[in-house]
């Protein structure tokens, strides 16, 4: 595998889980002497500074992956990578189509980072009608498909009729920095009351209304604080709810933070109430910080990470009463930091990188078999 030239393709340096995971892996492999490179639509996004500047980056130009198919086709012809690895819906489609047009015989590994059926429901009807057939076409022709959790793999099999043998669970790596001690941030409440922490975009998928309702119920028995790190279109809705629940002095919307680990290390409980997920990196990061966790048993990888509730409280979707009870339980019976950190080690960079190498080998093996069937 060390002699293979592998190029990765993502839209940009956005702050999502897929981008974070790929950048960590690229840095790790580059440091190990592997030949890796990154292709992006545009050189934008908050994670630009996290990629090792020695990793080659190729910019296609358009902000839309499908519009970049001709440019990606030329890239494959000119650079001849041994493997193209794509992530997210449109890049997965663009990568497979470009590979076939290019005639380069470059195998494509598609990474599926979210619960696809749920993600498609979030799109407009027109885009849903267009993108689903393109995804079906592309996944049928990918050399291998890496799914970020068991549930995502099952969803892919049911949605597109893909044989489970072509699906491989890869997970996401937790950065080494997550295991390091950190200084308590100055803007984190420090009045002696417990502090719950939530990290994530302020969007409907994260279901902050249930979180706010549950937190308000908790205040009747356990005075505490809720710190929320993230930005998004639901900020006003959340602020309005906080005001109506009379807990404005208890809920702190601090915005996006580049390095939330400082907050994770000093919270008394971590919350994630998503309606669906792919592989929530932040749950692994919370484990690495030793935090006790309350999370929804949502479609996606949360139950994988928490081992079906062994390492955190799994609650039903949109159930504020169950959430409030679980939060109270965290305050009264927190899990040990050692237990949480030990679980996080299962998602260390070397461990996850090895799983990716197994996925890549599946792609190479399939390509070799196909080539053997082609008459000389």
DSSP state of 174: B
Confidence (pLDDT) at 126? 65
Sorted by where each begins, the domain ranges of the chain are 5-173+348-373, 176-347
Confidence (pLDDT) at 369? 53
DSSP state of 236: H
The reply to whether domains 5-173+348-373 and 176-347 share a CATH topology is yes
Q: What is the enclosing helix (H) or strand (E) of 254?
A: strand 251-255
Confidence (pLDDT) at 368? 62
144 to each of 18, 96, 111, 361, 366, how far by Cα in Å? 17, 11, 9, 9, 8
Confidence (pLDDT) at 175? 75
Confidence (pLDDT) at 372? 41
Confidence (pLDDT) at 325? 98
pLDDT in tens, 227-280: 999 999 999 999 999 999 999 999 999 999 877 999 999 999 999 999 988 889
Confidence (pLDDT) at 373? 37
Low-confidence residues of the chain: pLDDT under 50: 370-376
The CATH code for residues 176-347 is: 3.40.50.2000
Reference 100, options 108, 92, 89; nearest CA is 108
Which pTM value belongs to this model?
A: 0.84
Superfamily of domain 5-173+348-373: Glycogen Phosphorylase B; (3.40.50.2000)
């Amino acid at each position: 595998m060390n002699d293979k030239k592998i190029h990765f393709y993502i839209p940009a340096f956005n702050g999502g889980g897929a981008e974070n995971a790929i950048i960590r892996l690229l840095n790790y492999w580059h440091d190990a002497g592997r030949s890796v490179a990154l292709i992006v639509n545009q050189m934008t996004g908050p994670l630009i500074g996290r990629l090792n500047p020695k990793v080659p980056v190729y910019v296609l130009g358009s902000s839309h992956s499908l519009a970049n198919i001709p440019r990606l086709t030329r890239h494959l012809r000119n650079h001849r990578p041994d493997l193209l690895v794509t992530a997210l819906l449109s890049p997965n489609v663009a990568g497979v189509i470009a590979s076939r047009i290019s005639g380069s015989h470059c195998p494509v590994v598609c990474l599926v980072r979210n619960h696809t059926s749920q993600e498609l429901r979030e799109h407009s009807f027109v885009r849903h009608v267009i993108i689903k057939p393109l995804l079906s076409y592309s996944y049928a022709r990918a050399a291998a498909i890496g799914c970020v959790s068991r549930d995502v793999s099952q969803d892919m099999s049911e949605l597109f009729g893909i044989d489970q043998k072509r699906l491989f669970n890869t997970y996401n790596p937790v950065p080494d920095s997550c295991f390091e001690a950190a200084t308590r941030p100055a803007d984190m409440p420090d009045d002696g009351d417990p502090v719950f922490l939530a990290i994530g975009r302020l969007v409907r998928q994260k279901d902050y209304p249930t979180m706010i309702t549950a937190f308000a119920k908790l205040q009747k028995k356990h005075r505490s604080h809720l710190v929320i790190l993230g930005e998004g279109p639901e900020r006003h809705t959340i602020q309005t709810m906080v005001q109506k629940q009379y807990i404005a002095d208890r809920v702190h919307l601090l915005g996006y933070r580049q390095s939330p680990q400082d907050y994770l290390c000093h919270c008394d409980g971590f919350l994630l109430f998503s309606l669906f997920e792919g592989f929530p990196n932040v749950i692994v990061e919370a484990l690495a910080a030793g935090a006790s966790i309350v999370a929804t048993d949502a479609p996606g990888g949360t139950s994988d990470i928490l081992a079906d509730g062994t390492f955190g409280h799994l609650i039903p979707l949109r159930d504020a009463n169950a959430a409030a009870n679980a939060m109270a339980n965290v305050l009264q019976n927190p899990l040990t930091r050692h237990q949480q950190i030990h679980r996080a080690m299962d998602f260390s960079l070397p461990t996850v990188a090895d799983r990716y190498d197994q996925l890549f080998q599946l792609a190479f093996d399939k390509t070799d078999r196909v080539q053997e069937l082609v008459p000389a």
